[in-house]
Chain A
Amino acid sequence: MSYCSRNDRRWHRILTLLAASLAVLLAFILLFLLYESWPFLSRLRFEDGPFQNPGWYPLEGRFGFAPMIFASIAVTLGSILLALPLGLANAVFLEFYASPIIARGFRLLLNLLAGVPSVILGLWGLTRLVPMITQWQPPGASLLAAILVLTLMILPTIALTSASALASVPFDLRAGAAALGLRLNTRILYIMLPAARPGIAAGVLLATARAIGETMAVLMVAGNVVQIPSSLFDPVRVLTANMALEMGYAVGEHRASLFASGLLLTMVVWGLSWVAYRVGSTTRRPHTNG
């Protein structure tokens, strides 16, 4: 479409400016994160960097992120470990076991679960799960509770992306496997799932990014004690929860350190999405999972 009138050109210019404003927004976000965290970053030296552990005593100027980074990783890994097998099983159920009507209903339920606001899942975890864990292993608000709530949150992502990855496995493979007379479980385990691996991996990476950036649900059930957990039942504080808890009153270098942790988190999430994109683009297909 190459015709152009003066009116068109004017519109073109206006819309281009608006689109450019998005790039400016991104630059602004980065600049402000950097600017605000500069007082902290400029003092950072490699010897006493955040991975050494001077402890988190912000009022004494000791900013050791290590326990919180560790907690973030533990919570995220734990929830992926639970959500991956469950989500894969749900995807297999959707694709191979459910009749069309049941599959539609199940898909709807998964979307519903994905749409429950995280603060409501947090509330439910705090008033239901945590008391149950307390009866079993006090204090209740713990790494385990955070993992369970987060599992519920990321499970729909993994299930729906894996289902669409399974659906886009080439028909020849299905037909070939069926023609060989393989049983359904053999076909799924040894043909379909391996063939859908790139799509599944991309979904898992996106879910990981979501889990590590989640704030409210984890903040409400994890107990928020700054420590490296020694068991599943220890309370922990993750990076996002730390920002939410301390931003309200933080000033000076303390505030800067919180912005620095936000910057760190953003970089990690971008890294994960980038890898997900690279992994997923090998078998990228249009699919609907909204």
Chain B
Amino acid sequence: MAERVFTSVIIACAALVVGALFWVLSDVVSKGFAHISWAFLFSEPLDAGRSGGIAPILVATLWVLVIALVVALPLGLAVAVWLSEFAPKHLRSTNYTRITLDILAGIPSIVYGLFGNAFFTLYLGLGYSLLSGGLTLACMILPVFVRTCESGLRLVDDDWRRGALALGMSRPSAVWHILLPAAQPAILAGLVLGIGRATAETAALLFTSGYVDRMPESLLDSGRVLSVHIYDLSMNVTGGDDAAYGSALVLIILIILLNALAQCSADSWFKRRLNKA
């Protein structure tokens, strides 16, 4: 008897969670699907976003993401390589770098927003702009990306390193041609995590990339990203809910598309590396 009650409670809890998830997703998909069209994607917002489209917002979203990735990817890979290949294994500084990364990863996103506002927009004088938003996001996704890549590199079998050494490869070229391709799944996972966090982020961008919903003309222009658009439509614009759901669906589709793109491009890039090597 007790066992049957226990089993049904467990299954009911699982069903509850699945139900809640489907409730959220079905709402977003059904309400969003009713609102999106080609015109919605490719026209300017009108009437504070109630009607019209989200073209400038999509452009701003992609720019901010591109800036964040262009800064965070090379830097993150370099630090990950240093941590797993070059850093002195038992030295304090290596450990400190890891602790620093964990601390950075734990900072709430709104605090990154405060920092970005104080440092990038005011101190460096970039103003409310795509550039300061992208740089703030780069700081935010960097620690998670480094940690994922580093753990992937660490898992590469030492035989590969010895083999490269035996072939007389220099260390940089061993890293480039052998270790990075071998750690591809982890690097990809880090990339997907970073893209997901950066695209979904709202709080860190409110005071760095700003609210302006015009088409950004340069990187120093302020631009409103999709998540900020959703927030603004639902909180500050009465009657903006439909457009907000449309934007929410676009955001979800965008994240899925970007992940697929990351998967494909990482695959082809690493394949080229392996063939050359």
B86 in the interface, Cβ–Cβ < 8 Å? yes
- Chain B residues touching A, majority SS: helix
B10→A15 contact, CB < 8 A: no
| Number of residues on chain A facing chain B (CB within 8 A) | 80
Contacts of A33 in B (CB 8 A): 111, 114-115, 118
Which residue among B6, B7, B106, B123 has the maximum number of chain A CB atoms within 10 Å of its CB?
A: B106
Q: Considering the chains assembled together, what is the distance between the CA atoms of A285 and B131 in angstroms?
A: 40
A270→B106 contact, CB < 8 A: yes
Contacts of B79 in A (CB 8 A): 15, 18-19, 22
Please give the distance in Å from B85's CB to the nearest CB on chain A. 8
Looking at the complex, which one of A120, A209, A240, A277 makes contact with B110 (CB distance below 8 Å)? A240
Known: A18-B75, A33-B111, A123-B230. A184 touches B3 (CB 8 A): yes
Q: Mark A119-132, 1 if CB is under 8 A from B, else 0.
A: 11111101110000
A59 in the interface, Cβ–Cβ < 8 Å? no
B17→A97 contact, CB < 8 A: no
A57 in the interface, Cβ–Cβ < 8 Å? no
A273→B109 contact, CB < 8 A: no
A11→B172 contact, CB < 8 A: yes
Known: A119-B230, A213-B108. A152 touches B24 (CB 8 A): yes
Please give the distance in Å from A245's CB to the nearest CB on chain B. 10
Looking at the complex, which one of A32, A117, A248 makes contact with B119 (CB distance below 8 Å)? A32
A11→B86 contact, CB < 8 A: yes
Q: Considering the chains assembled together, what is the distance between the CA atoms of A128 and B103 in angstroms?
A: 36
B142→A22 contact, CB < 8 A: yes
A282 in the interface, Cβ–Cβ < 8 Å? no
Q: CB within 8 Å of A: which of B151-176? A: 161, 165, 170-172
| Number of residues on chain B facing chain A (CB within 8 A) | 79
Contacts of B231 in A (CB 8 A): 119, 122-123, 216, 220
Looking at the complex, which one of B6, B17, B207 makes contact with A247 (CB distance below 8 Å)? B207
Contacts of B139 in A (CB 8 A): 25, 29
A8→B14 contact, CB < 8 A: no
A76 in the interface, Cβ–Cβ < 8 Å? no
Q: Which of A40-48, A165-173, A193-201, A259-267 contacts B (4 or more CB under 8 A)?
A: A259-267
A22→B10 contact, CB < 8 A: no
Of chain A, the residue at the smallest CB distance from B6 is A185
Please give the distance in Å from A264's CB to the nearest CB on chain B. 10
For the A-B complex with A15-B79, A112-B21, A123-B248 known, give 17 more contacts whose Cβ atoms are closer than 8 Å. A7-B170, A18-B78, A18-B82, A33-B111, A86-B13, A89-B10, A89-B14, A117-B227, A123-B245, A128-B27, A152-B20, A184-B3, A213-B109, A265-B108, A269-B107, A269-B108, A273-B103
Can you offer 18 A-B residue contacts whose CB atoms are under 8 A?
A3-B165, A5-B170, A8-B170, A15-B81, A16-B82, A36-B114, A36-B118, A97-B10, A120-B252, A123-B28, A127-B244, A189-B6, A209-B106, A216-B202, A219-B235, A240-B110, A266-B107, A273-B102
B residues contacting A by CB (< 8 A) are 2-3, 6-7, 9-11, 13-14, 16-18, 20-21, 23-25, 27-28, 75, 78-79, 81-83, 86-87, 96-97, 100-104, 106-115, 117-119, 123, 139, 142-143, 146, 148, 161, 165, 170-172, 189, 193, 196, 199-200, 202-203, 206-207, 227, 230-231, 234-235, 241, 244-245, 248, 251-252, 255
Kindly list the 7 A-B residue pairs having the minimum CB-CB distance in the complex, ordered from nearest: A213-B108, A117-B200, A89-B13, A15-B82, A185-B6, A215-B203, A93-B14
